[in-house]
Structure 1
Amino acid sequence: MSTTSSAGSAGASGTSSGAPLAHRVPDLGALELLLAVARLGSLGRAAKELGITQPAASSRVRSMERQLGVALVDRSPRGSRLTDAGALVTDWARRIVEAAEAFDAGAQALRDRRDSRLRVAASMTIAEYLLPGWLIALRSQRPDTAVSLTAGNSTAVAERLLAGDADLGFVEGLTVPTGLDSAVIAHDSLIVVTAPGHAWARRGKPLGAGELAATPLILREEGSGTRQVLDTALGGLARPLIELSSTTAVKASAVSGAGPAVLSELAVGEELSARRLVGIPLEGVELRRALRAVWPTGHRPTGPARDLLSLTRAGVE
């Protein structure tokens, strides 16, 4: 009865003693050396094949013998011969090494599948004005990775990440959405712009924060990082003149003369240079924000997502 109980206990723990398995089983490198000795009949040739010195190979064999408590190799001027125990251990070692090779091949297949695609979700300004350059740089590093990009506001980016529909995200808001970790990858300023014919383009003094807050503006939709920054900085906004779902649409409306807008400086450089838009000086408030890469909490980016994150952080101001 006691024998049965003992065997059941050993089966439950997976070993016949309380010692951790790793302390009683030689590592893969040592087992590969033993297999090479068996195949080549020489410790020196086995060491050469594995790229180690003969003294290092001898030390590794002695360490295995001490660990297992049996002699494995007989050494003589004519070469190295496995003992009877060594031949038996070699058979076991071959199965362990083959299993490890199968494990490694399976893990590599998982990495290849992960590395074959990258799903990115980004808020509009980053998607339109920063990501194209980063993705071109990533393409040179990982030409076989297929990249898909979904653009939306910061709230939508967070939702895609938390649903498992994106591997890496980029947002522009003041705060990091719940459930996500982040890293600052750039900084950006918002500026007030109007068409050249607007009255603000001819004013002789800076625009006050209170006047801006009280003026109906062409705005992004609620949930966008740009609107969140502006609303927080001004302590509230007037009812929108027009509400649009993309930076490009807001900019086109401002250029048409529909009204003033507040946009990222990244988005309006060309229009300001060509005088299709005019920047309006603002006093009493600073509209500066951090641009962030985001990912689900506790799941640091790996593979192509990690490489893209490295490319973006190289340009942190």
Structure 2
Amino acid sequence: VVEAAEAFDAGAQALRGRRDSRLRVAASMTIAEYLLPGWLIALRGQRPDTAVSLHAGNSAVVAERVLAHEADLGFVEGLTVPEGLDSAVIAQDRLVVAVAPGHPWARRTKGVAAAELASTPLILRERGSGTRQVLDAALASAGGLAEPLLELASTTAVKAAALSGAGPCVLSELAVGDELGARRLVEVPVSGAPLDRALRAVWPTGARPAGPARDLLSLTHRRI
């Protein structure tokens, strides 16, 4: 009996070890590019033997991967959390309308109203992204978004198009902070449209993160 118990304990420890030796993370583009690198470096300091895989996509894709148990922990930027997922707010974020210095909006001291923003073709992220979801909701009462000038699948591509002078973009302030500070882009104030949003960690309902996923979740609260 003792030998059987010891064998069971050894098997359980080995199973825990295998589970704790890997972490699958899915994150929306902004979080993956601007927040997760710091968190993962800190996690490596705590768990040097844990192998981490990261899938970056829009918030809808992240939710799908977590629901399908293809990720142990997800990070999203949208307004809502899909059914079947629990969540925790890890930070507050703000969307910014930004233009190249030569754009006419860059010289406006009062910025733009929601109605003008809604009627202007913008450089946008694709549908399914948290950024697009928040912007759609913010401008719904102003008539909804006009047909995009460009619709791009990554934060970096949207920013590059705005930097080229193609037109106004709407991105997280995390994504454009350096460019605004260097005046490569200019923030345009917006009135009448709420552009604040929450950043959330998500996991399957009833399955609170454990092991390295729990440790990563803890680090997000300490470092924002």
Indicate the TM-score class for this superposition, using the shorter chain for normalisation: over 0.9
Contact 1:186 1:315 in 2 (8 A): no
Larger RCO, structure (CA 8 Å, separation 6 or more): 2
Contact 1:218 1:253 in 2 (8 A): yes
Distance in 2 of aligned mates of 1:247 and 1:225 = 11
Question: Percent identity of the aligned residues?
Answer: 79
Match of 1:267 among 175, 179, 189: 175
Contact 2:78 2:134 in 1 (8 A): yes
Distance in 2 of aligned mates of 1:202 and 1:152 = 34
Instruction: Give the aligned residue type for 1:148.
Output: S
Match of 1:308 among 188, 194, 216: 216
Q: Secondary structure at the match of 1:258?
A: coil
Out of 307-316 and 125-134, give the one that drifted further.
Answer: 307-316
Instruction: Give the aligned residue type for 2:94.
Output: S
Contact 1:185 1:315 in 2 (8 A): no
Out of 127-136 and 101-110, give the one that drifted further.
Answer: 101-110
**Deviation digits for residues 224-265 of structure 1 (CA, Å, limit 9, x no counterpart):** 000000000110211110000000100010000010011100
Report how far residue 128 of structure 1 moved.
Answer: 0.2
**2:182 aligned with 1:277:** no
**Deviation digits for residues 73-132 of structure 1 (CA, Å, limit 9, x no counterpart):** xxxxxxxxxxxxxxxxxxxxxx2x222211111110110110111010000000000000
Q: What are structure 2's unaligned runs of at least 5 residues?
A: none
Match of 2:194 among 286, 293, 298: 286
Q: Secondary structure at the match of 1:175?
A: coil
Max Rg structure = 1
Distance in 1 of aligned mates of 2:168 and 2:53 = 33
Match of 2:22 among 117, 120, 124: 117
Instruction: Give the aligned residue type for 2:109.
Output: G
Give the equivalent residue in structure 2 for 1:3: none
Give the equivalent residue in structure 1 for 2:87: 182
Q: Secondary structure at the match of 1:185?
A: strand
**Deviation digits for residues 159-210 of structure 1 (CA, Å, limit 9, x no counterpart):** 1111121110000000011211100011100011000000100123221011
Give the equivalent residue in structure 2 for 1:228: 133
Give the equivalent residue in structure 2 for 1:61: none
Contact 1:184 1:313 in 2 (8 A): no
Q: Secondary structure at the match of 1:211?
A: helix
Instruction: Give the aligned residue type for 2:186.
Output: V
Contact 2:39 2:223 in 1 (8 A): no
Instruction: Give the aligned residue type for 1:259.
Output: G
Contact 2:113 2:190 in 1 (8 A): yes
Give the equivalent residue in structure 2 for 1:91: none
Distance in 2 of aligned mates of 1:203 and 1:164 = 48
Distance in 2 of aligned mates of 1:182 and 1:313 = 13
Instruction: Give the aligned residue type for 2:171.
Output: L
* TM-score normalised over the length of structure 1: 0.69
If each structure's helix is expressed as a fraction of its own residues, which one has the higher value? 1
Q: What are structure 1's unaligned runs of at least 5 residues?
A: 1-94
Give the equivalent residue in structure 2 for 1:21: none
Contact 2:105 2:111 in 1 (8 A): no
Match of 2:157 among 249, 257, 276: 249
* TM-score normalised over the length of structure 2: 0.96
Distance in 1 of aligned mates of 2:109 and 2:206 = 52
